[in-house]
Every structure is written in C-alpha cells, then in structure tokens.
Amino acid sequence: MLYILVLLPMHLYTPTRTFDLPNLLWLTHLILLYIHEAGHLIFSIFGRTISIVGGSLNQILIPAIWFVVAKREQSLLSHVAVFFTGVSIVDVSIYVKDAGMLQLPLIGGLSKSHHDWANLLNDWGLIEYGYLFGEIMFWTGMFLGCYGIYSGVKNIIDLYRLSSSEEHTLRHPFQ
C-alpha cells in the first residue's frame, strides 16, 4: 500500500496523453476502470447526468461501502478499504483535472465527446474549475490513503502491544 501511495503523486498528478503508469498502478487503475464503467450502466436508469456521474460515483462508492461494512464488522480490513477509497478518489481526480485539457486516452478512442467530466462541467458551465475540483479531490484522496496506512499501522502496533502485555501477564501472574 505504501508503494502505491508513493507512486500516486509522482505518476498521477497531471493528466498526460501517454498516461504512463508503473505496472502496479496500471493494475489498480484497470480494476477501478471496470468498476467505473459498471457505474455508468448501473446508474443509467436515473437519466443522463446521473449516468455520466455514475461511473465516478460507483468507483468511489464501492470501496467506501467496503469501508463502512468493514468498520461495522470491526474488521482490520477497514484500514485497507479507506486506503483504496483514497486511491479511487485520486484516480477520479485525474479524470476531473483532464476535463479542460482532454489529454487522457479514453476507452472510446480518440473521440473526446465521451469524456464524462468535460461533458458534465461544460453542461454546468464550470469547465474552467475542472482542474481546481480535481486538485481538491486529489489531495482528499491522498489524505484518505495516508490515513488508511497510518491507522492500519497504528492498529497493528496497538494489537502487538496488547498481545505482548497479555502474554507477559499470563507468564507472571504475581507481578
């Protein structure tokens, strides 16, 4: 997770035509891409705007729901889920930043008419704020990713300390 978090700022900060990513980030991005595309299909029943937003919404909601369920079940995986929620937000942020530049290669090929965020922000008259929205999303995602790693490591250390103190108590009951 730390490897991914270190690579994210270096390789995803600004959209480029080549979208050149290290292999691990490509794998993560491809998984998120399938979740994104499924979101368009899932949310298409709610009309054009929600269908367009649905890709990014689904991409962020899936790991966020995983976090909520893991937290409710008091699972240690909640830390991994919050990390991947952050990674997913970072992934969407690059797409949002690209709305005004139209640099990223899209699944639809060379046609930029299928760029979700360019279409939405143009429809809403906010295209000039796309990069700013993307920046806010990027740093929110980076914060969540860092928090996921921090809280996971802290939880593991706390569990280790608890188990070693219980082990010590069991060996020396009269101390």
> Contact 63/85 with Cβ under 8 angstroms?
yes
pLDDT value at residue 101: 87
Number of structural domains, the chain? 1
Distance CA 80, CA 96 (A): 24
Q: Can you list the pairs that 1-8 forms with residues at least 24 positions away whose Cβ atoms lie under 8 Å? A: 1/80, 1/83, 1/145, 1/148, 1/149, 1/152, 2/149, 4/28, 4/87, 4/145, 5/83, 5/87, 5/142, 5/145, 5/146, 5/149, 8/87, 8/90, 8/142, 8/145
pLDDT value at residue 30: 81
Using DSSP's 3-state secondary structure scheme, residue 20 falls into coil
3-state secondary structure 23-87: HHHHHHHHHHHHHHHHHHHHHHHHCHHHHHHHHHHHHHHHHHHHHHHHHHCCCCHHHHHHHHHHH
- List, for residues 132-155, the tens digit of each pLDDT value: 999 999 999 989 998 998 999 999
Residue 12: domain span: 2-171
One-letter amino acid for residue 23 of the chain? N
- List, for residues 88-142, the tens digit of each pLDDT value: 998 899 889 989 888 877 776 555 677 899 999 999 999 999 999 999 999 999 8
Average pLDDT value over all residues in the chain: 83
Q: By C-alpha distance, which of 132, 147, 12, 120 is closest to 57?
A: 120
pLDDT value at residue 11: 53
pLDDT value at residue 125: 94
Which residues, listed in sequence order, are joined to residue 12 by a DSSP beta bridge?
A: none
Highest mean pLDDT of the ranges 22-26, 64-68, 76-80 = 64-68
